[in-house]
Amino acid sequence: MAGVGLVPPRPAPEPVTRAVTIGGFVAVILAGVVLEVVAKRPASRVASVGDVLGQVMRQRTGRVLVFVLWFWFGWHFIAR
Amino acid sequence: MTGARRPVQCRVVSGDSAASAAARPAPRTLSPVFRWGAALLFAVLVSDARSLTLPASLLVLAGGLGIWWAGKYAPMVAPDAPAAAIGVATWAIVFGTFAVWELGAFVIGNNDAHPTFSMLFDPVLSFGPTRALCALGWLASGWYLLGRRPNP
C-alpha cells in the first residue's frame, strides 16, 4: 500500500495514439481517392495517378524506378 | 534431313499502306489465357506460402521477373499528353505525406500504439484467400504499370 503514491503518471492511452495513426493513413488514402475522382472529371487540371506514372515512365530510368518500387511493395508485403 | 531446304517465302505487297501494314509481322503479345492462368497459379501458390520463408521469397521474385518479362511483349502505345505540373505536384504531396506518416509510425513506435501500414495489413495477409487476392492485385498493378510501352 505504501508504494501506491510512487506510480508514475501514465502516458497517453494506447487506443488514442493508435486511432490517430490509423486516422492519418485513412485520411491520406481518402485524399488520394478524392484526387483521382477529381482528375477523372472532364477538363480537370489535376492529373490522374495513371497520367503521372505514365509521365514518369516515359524514360527508361523512370520505368526502372517504378518497377523497383512496385517490386519492393510485393517483397515487403508478401515475402517479408 | 540435313540436305532438306526450306521453301522460300515471298510476300507480295501492293503500294497500298493498309496492305503494307498487314504485311508487317504482328507484334508478339502474350495471350490473355496464358496471362490469367499464370496470375491465378501465382495467387494460389502465394496463398499457401507463409511470410519470411524461402518459397514466399522465390515466388515474389518469380512474379517480379515474370511481369518484367511480360512487359517486353506489351503492346506499344502512343505516349500520353504531358501531365500538368500542378497535377504532378499534388500527387507528389499525397505520396510524400503517406511516406512520412509511415516512416513516423515506424520510428516512433512500430507497435500497437503506433502501427505502421504493414502492421495494419498483417491480418489480411495472414489469411489465405485475402493473401491470394493481394498477390493477384500486386501482379495486376505490375501489369498495369509495365503492360504499356510508350512508343518513342
Q: Does A72 touch chain B (CB under 8 A)?
A: no
Which one of A71, A72, A76 would you mutate to disrupt binding with B, by most B Cβ within 10 Å of its Cβ? A71
- Judging by DSSP bridges, how do beta strands B76-77 and B149-150 pair with one another? parallel
- Measured between beta carbons, which residues in chain A are less than 8 angstroms from residue B146? 63, 67
Grid cell for residue A23: 486516422
Q: What was the ipTM of the complex prediction? A: 0.77
Placement of cell 475522382 in the chain = A37
Considering the entire predicted model, what is its pTM?
A: 0.74
Distance of CA A21 to the CA centre of its chain: 11
In the predicted model, residues of chain B with pLDDT beneath 50 are: 1-3, 8-15, 17-18, 21
d(CA B130, CA B136): 10
- Measured between beta carbons, which residues in chain A are less than 8 angstroms from residue B56? 78-79
For chain A, which residues make up each domain, given as ranges? 15-79
CA distance readout (Å), B63 to A27, A59, B98, B131:
31, 23, 26, 15
- Measured between beta carbons, which residues in chain B are less than 8 angstroms from residue A47? 83-84, 87-88, 90-91
Across the interface, which of B68, B112, B121 has its CB nearest the CB of A18?
B112
How close B20 gets to chain A, by Cα (Å)? 29
Short-list A58, A57, A36, A32, CA closest to A47? A36
Q: What is the pLDDT of residue B109?
A: 85
Q: What kind and span of H or E run contains B76?
A: strand B76-77
- For B76, phi then psi, to 5°, come to -75, 140
Q: What is the pLDDT of residue A47?
A: 87
Q: What is the pLDDT of residue B25?
A: 52
Q: pLDDT, tens digit, for every residue of A5-55? A: 577 766 666 788 999 999 999 999 999 999 999 988 888 888 888 888 888
Which 63-82 residues of chain B touch chain A by CB within 8 A? 63-64, 67-68, 79-80, 82
For chain B, which residues make up each domain, given as ranges? 31-150
> Any bridge partners for residue B133, and if so which?
none
